[in-house]
Structure 1
Amino acid sequence: MKKIVILIFILLSINIFSQETINNNKLKLKFKNGINISFYETTKGKLRVTALSKDMKLKKNRFFINKEKSNVKIKKDGNRYILGKYIIEEIKNGYKVNLESNNKLLYSSVFSITKKGFLEIKNSYDKELFHGMGEANDKSSIIAKQFMIYQKAEYGNQAKLYIPFYFTTGGDAYYYNSNSKDIFKFGRRGSAVSKVYSKYGYLDYYYFYENSPKKIVSEFYKFSKSNSLIPKWAFGYLQSKYGYKNSEEVYNLIKKFKKYNIPVSGVILDLYWFKHMGDLDWDKDNWKDVAKLDRYLEENGVKLITISEPFFTVDSKSYKDFNKNGVFAKDKYGKTLKLSGWWCFGSEYGGIMNPIAKNSFDTIGNRYVQMRKTGIDGFWTDLGEPEGDPTEAYFNGYSEFEFHNYYNREWSKLIYKKMVKVFPNERPLILSRSGFTGSAKYNVSVWSGDSSSSYINFRKQIGIGINAGISGFSYWGSDVGGFLSDRKKPKKELFIRWMQFGTFVPVFRAHGSFSPREPWMYDDETTKLLKSYIDLRYQMLPYIYSTAYETYLNGVPMMRPLYLEYPKDNFAQKSSLQYFFGDFLMAAPVVRRIREKKEKEVYLPKGNWYDFYDLKKIVGGNKIKVKRDINKIPVYIKEGAILPFKDLILLFPAEKKSEFTLYNDDGISNNYLKGDYSKIKIILKKDSVEFEGIKKEMTFNLKIVKNGGVIKKVVELKKGDNKILFE
Structure 2
Amino acid sequence: MKVVKSKKSTRLLQKLGLKTVLTTALAAALQPAFADTARSYQEHKLFDDKLVIETTDSQVTLTPLNSGALEVHYQREGMKQLPSFARAHQQLQQDVQAELNVSTEALRYSLGDITAVIHKSPFAIEYLHNGKPLLSEEHGFFANQTMRGFRFNLTDDEKLIGGGQRVLGMDRRGHRLPLYNKAHYGYSTESEQMYFSMPAVMSSNKYVLLFDNSATGTMDLGASEESVMQFEAVGGRSAYIVVAGENYPKLIENYVDVTGRQPMPPRWALGNFASRFGYRSEQEVRETIQAFRDEDFPVDALVLDLFWFGPDIKGHMGNLAWDKENFPQPVEMMAELKEQGIKTILVTEPFVLSTSERWDEAVASNALAKNLAGKPKQFDFYFGNTGLIDVFSEDGRDWFWNIYQDLKAQGVSGWWGDLGEPEVHPSDTVHAIGMADEIHNAFGHRWAQMLFENEKANNPDERPFIMMRAGFPGSQRYGMIPWTGDVSRGWGGLQPQVELSLQMGLLGFAYTHSDLGGFADGERFERTPYIRWLQYGTFQPVYRPHAQEKIAPEPVFHDRKTRRITRDFIKLRYRLLPYNYTLAFENSQTGMPLMRPLFFENENNLELMDNKSAYLWGNDFLVAPVMEDTRKVSVELPGGIWFDYWNDNQYGGDKAEIKVSLETIPVLVRAGAFIPTVADMKNTQEYTSEYLRLDYYAHESVQQSSGTVYEDDGETADAFAKGQYEKLLFSGERNEAGIDFTFTREGDGYTGAPESRNVELVLHNVTLPAAIQQGDQTIALVKREKDLTENTAWYNKREKTLHVKFPWSGASQSLSVAQ
Residue deviations 1:609-667 (CA, integer Å, cap 9, x gap): 0001112222x221122224221111111112121111411112452433332111221
Specify the code of the residue in structure 1 equivalent to 2:320.
L
Counterpart-to-counterpart distance in 1, 2:131 and 2:289: 65
Alpha-carbon distance between aligned partners in 2 of 1:149 and 1:252, rounded to the nearest angstrom: 43
Q: Is 2:72 the counterpart of 1:49?
A: yes
Letter in 2 for 1:297: L
Q: Select which of 37, 42, 63 maps to 1:19.
A: 42
Give yes or no for the alignment of 1:571 onto 2:607.
yes
The structure 1 residue matched to 2:160, chosen from 112, 130, 147, is 130
- Give distance in 2, aligned partners of 1:367 and 1:106: 47
Change (3 A) 1:42 1:474: closer
Larger displacement relative to structure 2 (224-233 or 175-184): 175-184
SS in 1 for 2:564: helix
From the superposition, tell whether residues 376 and 266 of structure 1 become closer, same or farther in structure 2 (CA, over 3 Å): same
Find out whether 1:368 has 2:404 as its counterpart: yes
Is 1:171 the equivalent of 2:206? yes
Answer with 10-19 or 79-88: which moved more: 10-19
Contact in 1 for aligned 2:126/2:137 (Cα 8 Å): no
Secondary structure at 2:499's aligned position in 1? helix
Distance 1:190 1:77, change over 3 A: closer
Q: 1:191 to 1:573 in 2, by over 3 A?
A: farther
Greater shift, 106-115 or 132-141, is seen at: 106-115
Q: 1:628 to 1:39 in 2, by over 3 A?
A: same
Q: Which residue of 2 aligns with 1:640?
A: 672
Task: Judge which range, 142-151 or 123-132, deviates more.
Answer: 123-132
Q: Pairwise CA RMSD of aligned residues?
A: 2.8
The 1-side partners of 2:288 and 2:410 are apart by 20
Q: What whole-Å deviation, never above 9, does each CA across 1:363-391 have from its counterpart, x for those lacking one?
A: 22121121122222111110001111222
SS of 2:83 mapped into structure 1:
coil
2:215 and 2:234 in contact (8 A); partners too? no
Paired residues of 1:482 and 1:490 also in contact (CA < 8 A): no
In 1, Cα distance between equivalents of 2:578 and 2:347: 29
Residues 268-347 of structure 1 aligned to structure 2 (within 5 Å): 268-275=303-310, 276-344=316-384
Give, in angstroms, the shift of residue 506 of structure 1: 0.5
Q: 1:617 to 1:626 in 2, by over 3 A?
A: closer
Query: Are 1:691 and 2:764 matched, yes or no?
Result: no
Report the Cα distance in structure 2 between the residues aligned to 1:389 and 1:92, rounded to whole angstroms: 43
Which residues in structure 2 correspond to 1:404-419 (within 5 Å)?
Answer: 404-419=440-455
The aligned counterpart of 1:3 is none
Residue 631 of structure 1 pairs with residue 663 of structure 2: yes
- Matches of 1:690 and 1:319 in 2, distance apart? 64
What is the match of residue 580 of structure 2?
544
Deviates more, 1:41-50 or 1:245-254: 41-50
Residue 612 of structure 1 corresponds to 645
One-letter amino acid matched to 1:430: I
1:250 aligns with 2:250: no
Offset, 1:134: 2.2
Q: Are 1:468 and 2:504 an aligned pair?
A: yes
Q: How does 1:226-241 map to 2 (within 5 A)?
A: 226-241=261-276
Instruction: Give yes or no for the alignment of 1:722 onto 2:816.
Output: no
1:399 maps to which residue?
435
2:696 aligns with 651
* C-alpha contact 1:356 1:396 (8 A) present in aligned 2: yes
Match of 2:457 in 1: 421
Alpha-carbon distance in structure 1 between the residues aligned to 2:234 and 2:400:
34
Residues 102 and 582 of structure 1: is their aligned pair in 2 closer, same or farther, counting only changes over 3 Å?
closer
Change (3 A) 1:78 1:492: same
CA separation of 1:255 and 1:186: change in aligned 2, threshold 3 A: same
Indicate yes or no: 2:526 matched with 1:491. Answer: yes
Structure 1 residues 323 and 657, CA, compared in 2 at 3 Å: closer, same or farther?
farther
Shift of 1:229: 0.9
In 2, Cα distance between equivalents of 1:671 and 1:17: 48
Deviation at 1:12, TM superposition (A): 8.3
Residue 97 (structure 1) aligned with residue 126 (structure 2): yes
Asked if the contact 1:74–1:83 (Cα under 8 Å) also holds between the matched residues in 2, the reply is yes
Q: CA deviation at 1:201?
A: 9.2
Shift in CA distance, 38/423, structure 1 to aligned 2, threshold 3 Å: closer
Specify which of 70, 83, 89 is matched with residue 61 of structure 1: 83
- In the aligned structure 2, how far is the partner of 1:410 from the partner of 1:202? 16
Cα distance per residue 1:178-214 (max 9 Å; x no partner): 2412211123799664222234497411222211112
Q: Deviations over 1:276-333 (max 9, x none)?
A: 2112221110112223322331232211111111111234343333222211111122
Give the match for residue 700 of structure 1: 759
Whole-angstrom CA distance in 1 between matches of 2:724 and 2:629? 48
1:399 CA drift (Å) = 0.9
CA deviation after TM superposition for structure 1 residue 358, in Å: 2.1
| 1:47 CA drift (Å) | 2.8
Q: Is 1:83 the equivalent of 2:112?
A: no
Cα distance 1:59–1:699, how it changes in 2: closer, same or farther (>3 A)? Answer: same
Structure 2 gap segments, 5+ residues each: 1-32, 311-315, 680-692, 750-754, 768-799
**Aligned equivalent of 2:786:** none
Distance 2:129 2:621 in 1: 39
C-alpha spacing 1:409/1:112, structure 2 compared with 1 (3 Å): closer
CA distance in 2: counterparts of 1:253 and 1:393, whole angstroms: 41
Gap change, CA 1:57 and 1:23, over 3 Å in 2? farther
AA matched with 1:313? L
The answer to whether structure 1 residue 600 and structure 2 residue 633 are counterparts is yes
Contact between 1:87 and 1:100, CA under 8 Å: does it hold in 2? Answer: no
User: CA offset at residue 724 of structure 1?
Assistant: 2.1
SS in 2 for 1:268: strand
1:720 partner letter: A
Higher Cα Rg: structure 1 or 2?
2
User: Deviation digits for residues 66-103 of structure 1, max 9, x if unmatched?
Assistant: 56386746442332323234352537644453548968
CA distance in 1, matches of 2:369, 2:148: 30
Compared CA separation, residues 678 and 554, structure 1 to 2 (3 A): same
Aligned equivalent of 1:521: 557
- State the partner residue of 1:208: 243
**If the length of structure 1 is used for normalisation, what is the TM-score?**
0.91
Pairing 1:511–2:602 present: no
- Runs of 4+ off more than 6 Å: 10-15, 100-106
**Residues 1:432 and 2:481 aligned together:** no
Whether the 8 Å contact between 1:106 and 1:126 is mirrored in structure 2 is no
Give the Cα–Cα distance (whole angstroms) in 2 for the partners of residues 693 and 314 of structure 1. Answer: 59
CA deviations 1:88-145 (Å, max 9, x no partner) are: 2537644453548968686552237588844543333351211222233553222322
Q: Separation in 2 of the partners of 1:145 and 1:279?
A: 42
Instruction: Tell me the amino acid that sits aligned with residue 328 of structure 2.
Output: K
Query: What is aligned with 2:794?
Result: none
User: How far, CA to CA, are the matches of 1:495 and 1:293 in structure 2?
Assistant: 30
Residues 457-484 of structure 1, C-alpha deviation per residue, up to 9 Å, x if partnerless?
A: 2111110011111111111210111111
Question: Partner residue of 1:681?
Answer: 729
SS of equivalent residue, structure 2 residue 497: helix
Gaps of 5+ in 1: 1-9
